[in-house]
Structure 1
């Protein structure tokens, strides 16, 4: 039996997995699932990938294959449980189940752990049925005696082969139960003993460090217990075979969790060399009570496979995010060149000062002007006013309209900084509603950056936040919100709920956050939003489905940014990544750098400027204007093209190089950097990637020197095999080279 999934809007899929967390993506074609009734085998073939699972004789749904696409004629079944090795190694623990409950002889990490009010904690999930719903495959597992039914939902993107999975967990019994842990999915890899894991770690101003470690018997746990995504770990992983997997070669399995709250991804290797990746809600302090008839939906966990190295894994993820996750999908607008006033004024914003900055920004070719913190309430520092989203009439006597009109008259769109999930104790809102924050009654209320966290899980708080933001956007002609979130959770109590229900805060908060964003976008469809959390502490596929761009780090030092942006690119698309040119010396580490180096570093993503323009000399302004104009000629290639990492800056390496190739192949852009020159060593020859070997490409330099003797025009094969030599001497040197294909825009891919 074959069921077809045609013209899928991914919003429907996420609505199932996240309870109304839509994705505003373009309609595309999903893969066609196949079901072999004789062998009870399910198969998804999408892109270059085949994903297959089957029902074994014990009624368990188990993974059969996940890897390179196989011919449809190949047989993958039947599903056979793992043999029991001893009384200590039961079959239930060794069989690679798709979604195991904790019950029976299960000793491996389960996907679901439940306790019923009568004390039973034994749940064994067996196959019940399947169906096609919302253009996705749904497989139902049940433990009828325990009163637990789990509907597993699958989608497979035909362009990239990326599979999306989530679980709908329902109490079908007559007594209440509590979910102690719930994963979105378990991913089972082929049996081997030579896997290694790559993942991303960081801290404020030092996000996106790529880590690698061998996968050995035992567990590696990546997680956030912070109430939000966090930057200590990011909910992304990549696992490769052997030591040889690199940018261009090797089997790679990769995935990312679409959730903006506390999360966990656990990588286990068992005694047979079987590797499981289990990811979903973080089980720490988690308890979700379900009365009879109630249900819990997990986040969506996306994962893919490639046999062409980590570089191809990144490009597949980038394409999936651009076309299927980000608002607007493939038809979304390119990121405009942005100016943000924070570095110039900090909290000392006022109408005359912002107008002067706007004039300077417009003269450079900037397309969007953003007023940062300090425009509202009693906000003269970070100790007061947060939560009072009314215009400060001392700073803006006639409201924001005169400044907005000025900005629009200069040909720019207008944006505003907000932090609507937070509150200062010194605010009118807190004085009126001190009970609205996360808290345990009678206990301390720990502050971070002098602020507390509003409990968005409360419906009255959600309604208030939505109302004030809706009013702000209705009363002012605003095109952009920089949505910040500047601390972790603490004391995550919800006193209005019964003790058995309070820990639902971990789920309800995030769902209400998503609902606020969704409703704002519906009411104000032309307003774009950036996700920021003290930098990159809330970047994930959940928040990206409802925002247009993200802020990877508060660290804007252009040398540090090379590593930050490189790490970011393993998991997330350059189309989402904002990068600013700020002052020199940089405020983070007092490093001095040229304007050329700063611009070329920032031009690898969505270009922004955050420097104090009033301090720039006429020569600096002229240089900036030239770079802004150049960026606009390559913007589509940088933001929507295929990214190739040529030299890695990870581990404080001296060199970095990236290349972006336009979707139709007509243009390619090379960015190359030398952090420090040592011992008169020449810069490495760069073998380019992604070009048409038969086409001919002419180069021009945005900035930097090409070695003497380099041909003006050469074939794609020449640039990819012979490569190009750049001349760089000294510290903090940079080059930007544009390659244009001769003979028009004939598409090569």
Structure 2
């Protein structure tokens, strides 16, 4: 049994295959975080765990200073609260009492326990949910707050997760930071006294931060304890890491309480998004493998979970808004000739769309560009052996559109404030049922009448002036969360009604990537930055949190549009083959030699694709202190195949050899490498390969195959 109680039912133990998570339930429902780490050998060991409490002074809680697993606001605990509520009449700081727990019947995959806290007069209830994915070593957490029979309850903060770490010499905090065209930069810093917050207040996950964290005590890539978590939410979120004056480190996260409110009427519940937590003693590589396996098994939507991601061609950088049936067919000829499997028409196919200042919201085909609609192009693409996909941005509207002229009240706006446009567009209120009904009708007209296999769903600006005319402040503070719920409703509609359609999430690149949106979409556009060298750090940082099968990477033109860097085609392909491969350049301007080379690389990618998209990732660069290379290794789960990418990334002071010790192989088996060497896995992992690093943009792919005995 993976969930059980000890110490006269005051201690709750959650066990996975290799880990354990322990909580003590104190008087008045105070939940103390006792232990999170390696699974212990016997129940007596859990009985012996010491719950650390530091008695102090009248300036602290009378029960002492401790690490909490849940913090209701109003008592003498001054870290970020897990729950903050008030009543309609102004009552604040409710007294919560423990009201028992319920353990669901165990099945082969997961088990759930609900801890109930009830307000002392029985008007309101909190259920803390812990779901144990035993074989995956993951614990999911969330809470449900219910107004049983009281006056309207105002929820001002409701976070999904609170954990605490006992006093120790040192803890490190890892997170991902960045900006548009510079996402997923890994930040690794020591936790010092005070509070560190990462968050988004933009209405989407954001380019600037990502709802993932890791805590360690000096772990490396291959060893050391790492505690980590992923929030499954695509709106305003926050994660707080705080070290108090006694040495406890508190971590909490969930929906951002910035401009947040949820009012519960009698009988109404509110469920927070899920926070997925994991622990490993196998360093950051072990952390990534654990998270990636869980995502592949439990997060990726079922219809396309097992399918290989096809090599796509996207027309954006070739034609921009100047799309037409004729030029798209010409590009389809070129894309099919080099081996692409999916052809995607990007922005510009609808309404009067010739620039970014018109027609968002008017999702009818532009008949000047496509006189007979999209079907002739779709048929042409299908005859070329490719699937057909299309770009959409349904959350947005231009003022120069029929939709805005008919429904100006559908956009977010303040009563006395001019609306802010960004990229010449405004944001639709996706919490409105009539807005979603309109979008679903558009999707039905597109997907129900044409053979479309792929949607690229974009979001090219963040939310602002999040208000609605004719409603009170409390109702308007609920709009942020309602937008996310509305978005999920539409994505769920697509997956239910059109399960054959593969959906790519995009928000100007990496602005909306999290486990909430990835439960409903199949892949993500990692960054609008397609420079092959910049992409190396973006993709490496992304690998700490997300499985590479989600991650789309393109080969585009040189010099690159962003920084004018000219990178050889071979290097561009190698950089883009470490996830789902796409081509985004203007193939009409590529030489015949470049197209022939591209066809060879695409053929080779299809050969190694199963290892890349389904295998385990090893960041070999992390063990090279000079960081003049980017070396990534992928190993199939059963260890029979491996692919190693070696790319120069800052060579200095002349040529020299680089020793590359591989990982994840069967040490007793023999492997044959594509450069002609046969040796055991032990050799490859202890001696490795010697790469002669000689010049800028040097790159190579080494493939290893296990030999039958």
> TM over 0.5: same fold?
yes
Distance 1:620 1:305 in 2: 46
What are the Cα deviations for residues 204-263 of structure 1, in whole angstroms up to 9, with x where unaligned?
11111111111112110010000110011110001111xx32111211101111000000
223-232 or 641-650: which moved more?
Answer: 641-650
* Equivalent residue number for residue 25 of structure 1: none
* Alignment check: 8 A CA contact 1:343 1:610 kept: yes
Q: What residue is the counterpart of 1:447 in the other structure? A: 421
1:221 equivalent in alignment to 2:197: yes
CA distance in 2, matches of 1:723, 1:594: 27
Does the Cα contact within 8 Å between 1:52 and 1:64 map onto a contact in 2? yes
Mean CA deviation greater in 120-129 or 469-478: 120-129
Q: CA-to-partner distance for each residue in 1:315-353, whole Å, 9 max, x for gaps?
A: 111111111101128952111111000011000000010
Structure 2 residue aligned with 1:459: 433
Query: Cα–Cα, structure 1 residues 48 and 681, in superposed 2: closer, same or farther, change >3 Å?
Result: farther
Once residues 58 and 263 of structure 1 are traced to their aligned partners in structure 2, the CA distance between those partners, rounded to angstroms, is 29
CA RMSD of aligned residues (A): 1.9
CA distance, structure 1, for counterparts of residue 132 and residue 160 of structure 2: 15
Q: Which runs of 5+ in 1 are unaligned?
A: 3-31, 702-710, 745-749
Alignment of 1:625-636 (within 5 A): 625-636=599-610
Q: Structure 1's 713 and 464: CA in aligned 2 closer, same or farther, altered over 3 A?
A: same
CA distance in 1 between partners of 2:519 and 2:627 (Å): 34
What is the Cα deviation at residue 462 of structure 1? 1.3
**Aligned: 1:677 with 2:642:** no
The residue that corresponds to 2:315 in the other structure is 341
Asked if structure 2 preserves the Cα contact closer than 8 Å seen for 1:323 and 1:329, the reply is no
TM-score (ref. length: structure 1): 0.91
Relative to structure 1, is the Cα distance of residues 556 and 93 closer, same or farther in structure 2, using a 3 angstrom cutoff? farther
Kindly provide the CA deviation profile for residues 650-679 of structure 1, in whole angstroms up to 9, marking residues without a partner as x: 999421101000012110000011123322
Q: Say whether residues 1:88 and 2:78 are aligned partners.
A: no
Query: 1:651, 1:692 → 2: CA distance?
Result: 26
TM-aligned CA deviation for residue 495 of structure 1: 2.3
Correspondence for 2:31 among 61, 77, 85: 61
Secondary structure in 1 aligned to 2:448?
helix
- Would the aligned equivalents of 2:3 and 2:103 in 1 still touch at CA under 8 Å? no
Give yes or no for the alignment of 1:175 onto 2:146: no
Q: Which residue of 1 aligns with 2:371?
A: 397
Given candidates 709, 729, 742, the residue that maps to 2:707 is 742
How far did 1:635 drift? 0.7
Most deviating of 415-424 and 110-119: 110-119
* Counterpart position of 2:68: 97
Residue 173 of structure 1 and its aligned partner are, at CA, apart by: 4.4
> Which of the residues 200, 203, 209 maps onto 2:179?
203
Partner Cα separation in structure 1 for residue 139 and residue 215 of structure 2: 16
Residue 572 of structure 2 aligns with which residue? Answer: 598
> What displacement does 1:272 show?
2.2
Could you say which residue in structure 2 is the equivalent of 1:498? 472
1:119-138 equivalences under 5 Å are 119-133=90-104, 135-138=111-114
Deviation string for 1:624-643 (max 9, x for gaps)? 11111111111111111110
In the alignment, which residue of structure 2 is the partner of 1:24? none
**TM-score normalised according to structure 2 size:** 0.96
Higher mean C-alpha deviation, range 455-464 or range 648-657: 648-657
Range 340-349 or range 439-448, more displaced: 439-448
1:51 has 2:21 as partner: yes
Q: Separation in 2 of the partners of 1:443 and 1:263?
A: 26
Partner of 2:592: 618
Where does residue 437 of structure 1 map in the other structure? 411
1:196-345 superposed matches below 5 A: 196-241=172-217, 244-328=218-302, 331-345=305-319
Distance (whole Å) between structure 2 residues aligned to residue 403 and residue 195 of structure 1: 57
Partner secondary structure for residue 167 of structure 2: coil
Partner SS, residue 159 of structure 1: helix
The 10-residue stretch of structure 1 (102-111 or 523-532) with the greater mean CA deviation from structure 2: 102-111
Is the aligned partner of 1:663 residue 2:637?
A: yes
Q: Aligned-pair distance for 1:648?
A: 4.1
Greater mean alpha carbon deviation, residues 36-45 or residues 592-601: 36-45
Distance 1:616 1:92 in 2: 72
Cα contact 1:57–1:81 (8 A) shared by 2:
no
Is 1:111 aligned with 2:87? no
Q: What does residue 607 of structure 1 align with?
A: 581
Report the alpha carbon displacement of residue 159 of structure 1 after superposing the two structures with TM: 2.7
- Counterpart contact for 2:658–2:693, Cα < 8 Å: no
Cα 1:132–1:467 change in 2 (3 A) is farther
CA–CA distance in structure 2, aligned partners of residues 426 and 57 of structure 1: 61
Distance in 1 between the 2:313 and 2:64 partners? 55
Q: State the distance in 1 between where 2:229 and 2:294 align.
A: 12
Matched with 1:72 is 42
1:191 is paired with a residue whose SS is: coil
Distance, in Å, in 1 between the alignment partners of 2:458 and 2:23 is 42
Give the 3-state SS of the residue equivalent to 2:436 in structure 1.
Answer: helix
Number of aligned residues: 703
Residue 38 of structure 1 pairs with residue 29 of structure 2: no
3-state secondary structure, aligned to 2:337? helix
- Give the Cα–Cα distance (whole angstroms) in 2 for the partners of residues 283 and 146 of structure 1: 25
SS of aligned partner of 1:647: helix
Structure 1 position 529, deviation (Å): 0.2
SS at match of 1:500: helix
TM-aligned CA distance change 1:576 to 1:92, over 3 Å: farther
- Cα distance in 1 for partners of 2:591, 2:345 equals 23
In the alignment, is the contact (CA less than 8 A) between 1:209 and 1:650 conserved in 2? no
1:517 aligns with 2:491: yes
Matched residues in 1 for 2:623 and 2:409: separation? 47
Change in CA separation of 1:84 and 1:173 when aligned onto 2, cut-off 3 Å: farther
